[in-house]
Amino acid sequence: MAWKNRITGHFGPRILGGANFVLYTAAVVAIVVLANWFVDRHNRRWDLTPDQKYSLSPQTTKL
Amino acid sequence: MRNVLAIAGKELRTYFHSPIAYLVMTVYAGLCGFFFYSFAATFVLQSFRMQAMGGMGAPGMSLNEYIIRPLLAGVLTVVLLLLVPLITMRLYAEEKRSGTIELLLTSPLTDLQIIFGKFLGALALYAMLVAITFGYLGILFLYGNPNAKPLLANALGLFLFGAALLALGMWFSTFTKNQIVAAVIAFAAFLLLFVLDWPAAYSSSAVVRVMSYMALTTHFDNFAKGVIDLSDVVYYVSVVVLGIFFTARSVDALKGRA
C-alpha cells in the first residue's frame, strides 16, 4: 500500500478515483466489444418468412 | 423491483402531465399514417399493373416485402430518430434544472434503480408508438393477407431499435440542465450513428467495416425483412447496456461534484 500512499500523497485521492473510473469503463466497453465480436463470428439467424426467402437453400450450404 | 416500477410509473405519468406524450404520439401517428398510405397506394397500383400484364408468371407481390419492410426500415426509423430525443431529453435534464436531482441522488434508492426506472418509463411511452405502428399494420390484415410470423421479427426489431436510442438519449440527458441541448446532442449522435455505414459504399477497410457494424441502420434491415439475426439482437442489447452504464457513470460524476 506504500505506492498507494505515495500517489495519493502527491495528487490527492482524486487521481486513484479517476484511474479506477477509466479502468472500470474500459473494462465494460471491452466486454461489450468482445461479446459483439464473438457473436458476429458465431452468428445464427432465424428466418420467419414462410418461404425462407432470406435463407440460403440447403443446396447452396452444401457447397 | 417495486422501486424501479414506482419510478417508471412516475416518469410515465410525468410524460402525460406535460404535452410531450401527446405531441410525440400525435406526430408519430400522423407521419406513420401518411407513409403507410403512400406505400399501400403504390402497392395497389403496382399489383394492378402486374395483373394487367397477366402476372407474366411472376409470384404475387408480398405485403410484407413491399409495404412493411420499406415502411419500417426506410422511413419509420428516421421518424423515430427525430422523436426519441423528445422523449429522452427531460429524463435527467429536467431534474437538474428544477434541482430535484439532489433529492434523487440522496434518496435511499440506488442509482441503478432510478436509471432503470427512468428507462422503463420512457420505454413504456415508446411501446405506445410501436403499438400505433402495429395498429396501421393491422389494417393490412383487414384487406389483405400478409404473413403474421415476420411481424414478430418486425416488432422485436422496432422495440430493440427504440430501446437503444432511448438508453443513449438518457445518457445525453445527464450532460446538461437544458432540455433543448440534451435533445440536440441526442439527435446529432443518432444521426451520426445512422449514417456511419455510408463509407462502406466506397471502401471495405477494417475501420470502415467496424464503423458499418456500429451503425444503427445496418442492424435494422434484417428485422424489417422478417429475419431475426443473433448479432443484430446482441448489437442493440449492447447499445442499451452501454447507454445505461454510461448514464450510471455520469450520475456518479454528478455526485462527486455535488
Note whether A45 contacts B230, CB cutoff 8 Å.
yes
Among B213, B226, B235, select the one facing A48 at the smallest CB separation: B226
pTM attached to this predicted model: 0.88
Q: What does the pLDDT look like over A7-59, one tens digit per residue?
A: 555 555 555 567 788 888 899 999 999 999 999 888 888 988 888 888 887 77
Residue of A nearest to B219 (CA): A40
Q: What does the pLDDT look like over B63-77, one tens digit per residue?
A: 888 899 999 998 999
Structure confidence at residue B6 (pLDDT):
92
Provide the number of CB pairs (under 8 Å) joining chain A to chain B.
60
In terms of residue numbers, what domain contains B130?
2-257
Number of domains in chain B: 1
DSSP 8-state assignment for residue A55 = S
Among B228, B242, B245, select the one facing A46 at the smallest CB separation: B228
Given CB atoms, is A48 within the 8 Å cutoff of chain B? yes
Helix axes B149-173, B179-195, angle to 10 degrees: 130
DSSP B30-86: HHHHHHHHHHHHHHHHHHHHHHHTGGGGPPPPPHIIIIIHIIIIIIIHHHHHHHHHH
Mutation site for A-interface testing, chosen from B156, B171, B210, B227 by largest number of A Cβ within 10 Å: B227
Stretch (H or E) spanning A47: strand A45-47
Q: What does the pLDDT look like over B41-60, one tens digit per residue?
A: 999 998 888 888 776 666 67
In angstroms, rounded to a whole number, what is the distance separating the alpha carbons of residues B133 and B220? 16
